Amino acid sequence: MRRAGLVVWGAHQVAKAMVRPGVTTGEIDNAVEAYFLEQGAIPLFKGVPGKVPFPAVCCMSVNDEVVHGIPGPRVLRQGDVISIDTGCSLGGWCGDSAITHAVGEIEPDVQRLLDCTSGVLQLAIELMASRNRWSDVASEMAKYVRDYGFSVVENFVGHGIGRNMHEDPQVPNFCTPAFRKNHDFELEPGLVIAVEPMVNMGSKKVRVLADHWTQSTIDGRPSAHFEHTVAITESGPVVLTAPPANGEAVGGGTA
């Protein structure tokens, strides 16, 4: 799965280099699709079933869009934020990751939202080394976001990942008594999960737009989304979609 994770990381570097005012979300998506083809990887998002099959290799959600935004002719503008979520399969194994980027200079309160969301993902990864059950991690994640004065999106959660993009268990970024009682799971070696906090500046509530995919905040305030694919090993958590270590090659060739 590390090979797939490295290709996903590489795709994010392609996207990051293009994020600037004047570029369209469709142009970024086309570049990421070309990169996956070059690496011999299969994009995971394109064609995902729905009322309309998802038409792109990335979800690109801008400003008040939370997740599942569809790339296209939208032009990025100074002060926007854009969440780019993508994944691929390589050699039969999957990787999935998301990053929210600032487009040029952004407002300080929006930067604080990005800092909170990336920070809570890092907190979760660190806690996975010392906690035994996901409920303990999720409770700390929710507290971290509340302390910033923001809200955790509850309509969407992370997921197990392996041969398929979406596998059991569900991985919420918050904890309820019902989850702790009925759906909690142990953090044991061999488990691989996609941890993906989505944090809203205002209300946690979202609404789906007319394209049947894009989820937007109900109050029109900004949202941020960060994600990594993380494996639990005997020596602790390993981020499979992190940058390459010294001497580690990016790229898989033909899968």
The 10s digit of each residue's pLDDT in 135-157 is: 999 999 999 999 999 999 999 99
Q: What DSSP string describes 192-255?
A: EEEE--EEESS-S-EEE-TTSS-EEETT---EEE-BEEEEEETTEEEETTSPPPTTPPP-----
Domain containing 224 — which CATH number? 3.90.230.10
* Torsion, CA 132, CA 99, CA 194, CA 178, rounded to 10: 70
**Helix, strand, or coil (residue 32):** helix
Write out pLDDT tens, residues 106-129. Answer: 999 999 999 999 999 999 999 999
Residue 199, domain member (yes or no): yes
Q: How many structural domains is the chain composed of?
A: 1
- Please give the Cα distance from 58 to 101 (Å, whole number): 14
pTM, entire model = 0.96
Residue 252 has pLDDT above 60, yes or no: no
What pLDDT does 255 receive?
A: 37
What pLDDT does 249 receive?
A: 81
Q: Say how far residue 176 (Cα) sits from the centre of its chain.
A: 22
Residue 172 has pLDDT above 70, yes or no: yes
Measured CA distances, 6 to 71, 82, 228 (Å): 23, 21, 11
Amino acid at 66: V
Residue 60, domain member (yes or no): yes
Residue 98, domain member (yes or no): yes
Average pLDDT over residues 202-223: 98
Residue 254, domain member (yes or no): no
Which tokens sit at 90? Answer: 């390589």
Of residues 24 and 250, more confidently modeled: 24
Residue 253 has pLDDT above 60, yes or no: no
Per the CB < 8 A criterion, the answer to whether 162 and 192 are in contact is: yes
- Please give the Cα distance from 134 to 182 (Å, whole number): 12
User: Which of 148, 152, 68, 67 minimizes the C-alpha distance to 113?
Assistant: 148
Write out pLDDT tens, residues 44-85. Answer: 999 999 999 999 999 999 999 999 999 999 999 999 999 999
Average pLDDT over residues 223-231: 98
Containing domain of residue 139, as a range?
2-239
Number of H helices and E strands in the chain, helices first, is 5, 15
Amino acid at 144: Y
Residue 248, domain member (yes or no): no
Residue 245, domain member (yes or no): no
Residue 213, domain member (yes or no): yes
Average pLDDT over residues 170-185: 97
Residue 247, domain member (yes or no): no
